[in-house]
Amino acid sequence: MDQATDHRKEMIFGTRAVMEAITAGKELDKLFLQKGLKNELSQELLSLIRDYHIPVSKVPVEKLNRMTKKNHQGVIGFLSAISYASLDNIVNQCFQQGKDPLILLLDRVTDVRNFGAIARTAECMGVHGIVIPAKGSARISGDAVKTSAGALHMIPVCREEHLKETLSYLRSSGFRVIACTEKAQVPIADVDLRGPIAFLLGSEEDGISPEYLKLADEKASIPLYGRIASLNVSVAAAMMLYEATRQRN
């Protein structure tokens, strides 16, 4: 299946169709709503969006028209290729089984292939869950699943409304949050990665958001000896996770 066909298969449009998908329990990865749309049905849809915590972007009608030439009625949604998990359940289950949880938090990693590659490595390294923000993250499409070599069907992914609250929750649950940034002075091999750990990685363009960086218990870097000053985020994640696995096992 080519990418264009896959894209059409994931898209649903029209107010009623989107509302029925939501109430039927379908996972929507992203919802685009026409700016200024005001009618009774659209108000019902907005109420559902709030109740189900679905990420929504209000956009000009021209953007919707570029997505499909069919009668979208100002509403286009994209079905997720996976079902999202509960972070609470993952953490509690790990503790009940006597395991030290290893969680990966991704701040604004928007490239689908990077996300898929990270998920593949995370599954191989025994990560218990991946956390992404509801807004500003890669859409989990069939392409992401393909890049992950199917790992996205095996590793739990949690979509959280506010990463700041998530970080605070993890810290209060006994986790140490390790921010992975090239600006850190301490190399990752010098950080104790045993016990409950949450790795925090940021986007390739902007790194980790300053408000999240402040909540990190420690900051760690990967030593680089070449002339290029940074690594692709999926490669950085792999190196961090390998060091965690090496120490923990």
Last residue of a domain, one of 59, 79, 99: 79
Say yes or no: 11 and 96 in one domain.
no
If one counts every other C-beta atom within 10 angstroms of the C-beta of residue 101, the result is 23
- pTM, two decimals, is 0.86
Domain final position from 60, 79, 98? 79
Q: Are residues 40 and 118 in the same domain?
A: no
Q: Which domain holds residue 211?
A: 87-248
Domain CATH for 134: 3.40.1280.10
Same structural domain, 48 and 142:
no
- On whether both 91 and 188 belong to a single domain, the answer is yes
Spell out the alpha helix ranges (H) of 125-191: 142-147, 163-172
Per-residue pLDDT of the chain (249 residues; tens, 9 = 90+): 344 444 445 899 999 999 999 998 888 888 999 998 888 888 899 999 888 888 898 999 999 999 999 999 999 999 988 999 999 999 999 999 999 999 999 999 999 999 999 999 999 999 999 999 988 888 888 889 999 999 999 999 999 989 999 999 999 999 999 999 988 999 999 999 999 999 999 988 889 999 999 999 999 999 999 999 889 999 999 999 999 999 998
Confirm if 81 and 152 have CB atoms less than 8 A apart: yes
Last residue of a domain, one of 79, 96, 123: 79
Domains in the chain, number:
2
Half-sphere exposure of 159 (CA within 13 A, CB side): 19
Same domain, 200 and 242: yes
